[in-house]
Amino acid sequence: MRRRFAGLALALSVVLPVVSTAGLSPAIAQPGSEPAAAQGIPDGPAKAWLLADLDTGQVLASRDPYGTYAPASTIKVLLATVVLDHLRPDSFARANASHTEVECSCVGLKPGQAYTTRQLLEGLLMVSGNDAANMLADMLGGQPTALAAMNRKAALVGARSTKASSPSGLDGPGWESVTTPHDLAVILRAALKYPLIAHIMGQPSAQFPGKTITNQNELLTRYPGDLAGKTGYTNLARKTYLGAAQRGNRRLVVVQMYGTGDLYGQATRLLDWGFNQQR
């Protein structure tokens, strides 16, 4: 059974099997209707997750794929697409104190130092720099302008349940960002069409002014064929993970939200399960 989203070329189609019918439309699954092939799908420890073919958009398995949760730093992938829609990679600006006055994780911006867009994107996507997110938002015209652009972009690519309230994904009064596993998969699918984003998310390290930064996505070294990944954590979101991997000519995307424990382990098991399924 398939479900497509009219008018949204980048949205994902949904196909059985699913692990749980909680929160799903009756048009997709009814209790007790899961096929035998659904058994053995690696569930937990994320409360909501999705595994899909990155290129066709076919969802192979999911739990609560349309449930809304706080995204934490996975929303930075959306910010990166907006940045490259409006700024050249070699454009630059100077950091100021307002960029660094933020709860970290941070890449370590220094007020007065000049940074290129590309360097800030590396700090954003590889080490989840909240200071880099603040500076990029300013380069886009300020946080209100950046957030409006992020929300327009989300709607444009088919992530219609996504609302960005901070460029970094931090929680706080007035910062109640929300998205869904489905939407994060759609966002990563769109983001990896940008060659620079794909390159940055797939590189193990990069030179940053004054130091070398290392990609925080552990699956780059732990999972053969890993293409990209973005971790996140806040008190509201719990652990989140968004990633993609390739085996042969097939590419899969995995999303995990509101998790505890070892999300990398679950992501690995889901990807292995997905690559073992016939098309």
What DSSP assignment string belongs to 83-147? Answer: HHHHS-TT-EEE--HHHH-SPSP-----TT-EEEHHHHHHHHHHS--HHHHHHHHHHTTSHHHHH
- Position 279 scores a pLDDT of 65
- Position 25 scores a pLDDT of 28
On whether the CB atoms of residues 195 and 39 are closer than 8 A, the answer is no
Q: Which of 62, 76, 163, 166 is catalytic?
A: 76
pLDDT in tens, 215-229: 999 999 999 999 999
Alpha carbon distance 98, 114 (integer Å): 15
Local structure of residue 215 (DSSP, 8 states): -
* Crossing angle for the helix pair 76-86 and 117-126, to the nearest 10 degrees: 170
How many percent of the chain have pLDDT more than 90? Answer: 81
pLDDT at residue 258 tops 70: yes
Structure tokens at 96: 């100021």
- 270 Cβ contact list (under 8 Å, min separation 6): 41, 42, 49, 51, 61, 254
pLDDT at residue 16 tops 50: no
pLDDT at residue 208 tops 50: yes
pLDDT at residue 30 tops 80: no
Alpha carbon distance 75, 31 (integer Å): 32
> Taking the CA atoms of the chain, what radius of gyration do you get in angstroms?
18
- Confidence grade of residue 40 (pLDDT, cut at 50, 70, 90): confident
Is 76 marked active-site? Answer: yes
Q: Which of 73, 105, 165, 166 is catalytic?
A: 73
pLDDT at residue 247 tops 60: yes
Is 230 marked active-site? Answer: no
- Position 5 scores a pLDDT of 29
Q: Which of 25, 47, 91, 128 is catalytic?
A: 128
pLDDT at residue 31 tops 70: no
- Confidence grade of residue 36 (pLDDT, cut at 50, 70, 90): very low
Residues making up the chain, counted from first to last: 279
End-to-end CA distance of the chain: 14
User: Each residue of 33-53: b (16+ CB within 10 Å) or e?
Assistant: ebeeeeeebbebbbbbbbbbb
Mean pLDDT across the chain, nearest whole number?
A: 88
Neighbouring CB atoms inside 10 A of 128's CB total 25
Is 73 marked active-site? Answer: yes
pTM score, whole prediction: 0.88
